[in-house]
Amino acid sequence: MFARPVLVGLVAVSVLLSAGCGSGKSKNTPTNPPPAPSSAAPNRGPSTAAEQDALTAYRGMWSAFVEAAKTSDPEAPDVRKYASEQALKLISSSLYSDRSNRQVTQGELHIDPKVTALKPVGTPTEATIVDCVNDENWLKYQASGGLVNDVPGGKHHTTATVKRTHDGWKVSSFILREKGTC
Average pLDDT in the 32-44 region? 49
Question: 150: helix, coil or strand?
Answer: coil
Res 3 pLDDT > 60? no
**pLDDT, tens digit (0-9, with 9 covering 90-100), for 152-176:** 789 999 999 999 999 999 999 999 9
Using 50, 70 and 90 to split pLDDT, how confident is the model at 46? confident
d(CA 162, CA 171): 4
Reduced to 3 states (helix: H, G, I; strand: E, B; else coil), residue 162 is strand
Q: Calculate the CA 168 to chain-centre distance.
A: 17
CA distance 162 to 109: 20
CATH of the domain spanning 6-32+45-179, picked from 3.10.450.50, 3.40.630.30, 3.40.1050.10, 3.30.300.30: 3.10.450.50
- Say what the pLDDT of residue 113 is: 98
What are the backbone angles phi and psi of residue 109, rounded to the nearest 5°? -115, 130
Helix (H, G, I), strand (E, B) or coil at 157: strand
